[in-house]
């Protein structure tokens, strides 16, 4: 029996190695499929006919649907797409919704201040929040206020964590190219190692994690959307205060029409 034990241990090691290789291959396939989506979208925009304005909104929803679409991803559309959600909500109620959903929230101005802070703890708040919410599979939302240009401040804040980090983290295949392979672990400083070691992050939590962006205004015009929004899964929240369309009121029969009908020997019914 003792002679067999080393063989069993070796077989177990090889089995685990084969599983890791298979998993990596599966991630590579999913990553490649998401890259193909990017290429398809670029070709679609390039081949768009002159004067044709195709909506770049992926979904138009009510406020009550935010949880199902953004967090739970009921139906799997957002997860299949791969991009992080960018929410256009002129009512601003999405900000309150996520606040009461226990999501971490930053606004663009706050991130700009934190990124240049000389206090080490303050400067690392975004990183710590990202790690915490990836660990527990919770959403982290960033309020862009009413200007899409504020994304530049957010990008700078991410890049203060690591050069090029914003592009890495908003890549369409980020789940399979960065999160699940645990490539973010090189961001964990010695001070954070006890709270965020590699084995504290499981695949389920990383898959549930959501980085979302909220703009408290309507979506910009098509040209701006085509330039700035392709990296994001654009969602429009309907304004709850907008009036419903009014059905046209049936007009009363015109008296002159009645006279014409009688003159022709016809009787109007009704």
pTM of structure? 0.74
Domain map (residue ranges) of the chain: 52-237
| Residues in Cβ contact with 192 at an 8 Å cutoff, skipping those fewer than 6 apart | 128, 131
CATH architecture for the domain at 52-237: 3-Layer(aba) Sandwich (3.40)
pLDDT over threshold 60, residue 257: no
Burial annotation 192-204 (CB, 10 A radius, 16+ → b, else e): eeeebeeeebeee
C-alpha–C-alpha distance, residues 250 and 247, integer Å:
9
More confident call, 264 vs 23: 23
Mean pLDDT of 33-44: 58
Neighbours of 188 (CB within 10 A): 18
pLDDT in tens, 100-113: 887 899 999 999 99
Mean pLDDT of 231-235: 94
- Any idea which residue has 């009014």 for tokens? 246
pLDDT (0 to 100) of residue 251: 40
pLDDT over threshold 80, residue 54: no
Mean pLDDT of 86-100: 93
DSSP string, 29-68: HHHHHHHHHHHHHHHHHHTPPTT------SEEE-GGGHII
- DSSP bridge pairs for 85: 233
pLDDT over threshold 90, residue 263: no
Local confidence band at 59 (pLDDT 50, 70, 90 cut-offs): very high
pLDDT (0 to 100) of residue 181: 93
pLDDT in tens, 174-198: 999 999 999 999 999 999 999 999 9
**Phi, psi torsion values for 231, nearest 5 degrees:** -70, -5
């Amino acid at each position: 029996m003792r002679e067999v034990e080393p063989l069993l241990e070796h077989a177990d090691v090889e089995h685990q190695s084969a599983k890791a290789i298979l998993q990596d291959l599966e991630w590579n396939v999913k990553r490649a499929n998401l890259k193909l989506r990017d290429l398809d979208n670029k070709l679609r925009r390039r081949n768009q006919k002159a004067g044709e304005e195709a909506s770049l909104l992926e979904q138009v929803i009510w406020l009550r649907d935010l949880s199902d679409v953004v967090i739970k991803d009921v139906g799997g559309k957002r997860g299949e797409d791969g991009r992080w959600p960018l929410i256009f909500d002129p009512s601003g109620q999405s900000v309150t919704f996520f606040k009461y959903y226990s999501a971490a929230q930053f606004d663009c101005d706050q991130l700009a201040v934190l990124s240049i802070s000389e206090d080490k703890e303050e400067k690392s708040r975004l990183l710590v929040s990202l790690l915490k919410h990836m660990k527990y599979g919770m959403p982290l939302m960033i309020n862009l206020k009413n200007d899409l240009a504020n994304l530049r401040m957010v990008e700078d804040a991410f890049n203060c964590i690591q050069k090029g980090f914003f592009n890495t983290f908003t890549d369409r295949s980020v789940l399979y190219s960065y999160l699940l392979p645990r490539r973010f672990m090189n961001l964990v400083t010695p001070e954070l190692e006890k709270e965020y070691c590699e084995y504290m992050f499981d695949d389920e939590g990383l898959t549930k994690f959501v980085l979302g962006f909220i703009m408290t205004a309507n979506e910009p015009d098509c040209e701006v959307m085509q330039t700035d929004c392709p990296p994001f899964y654009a969602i429009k929240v309907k304004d709850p205060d907008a009036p419903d369309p009014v059905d046209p009121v049936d007009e009363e029969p015109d008296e002159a029409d009645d006279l014409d009908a009688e003159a022709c020997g016809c009787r109007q019914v009704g």
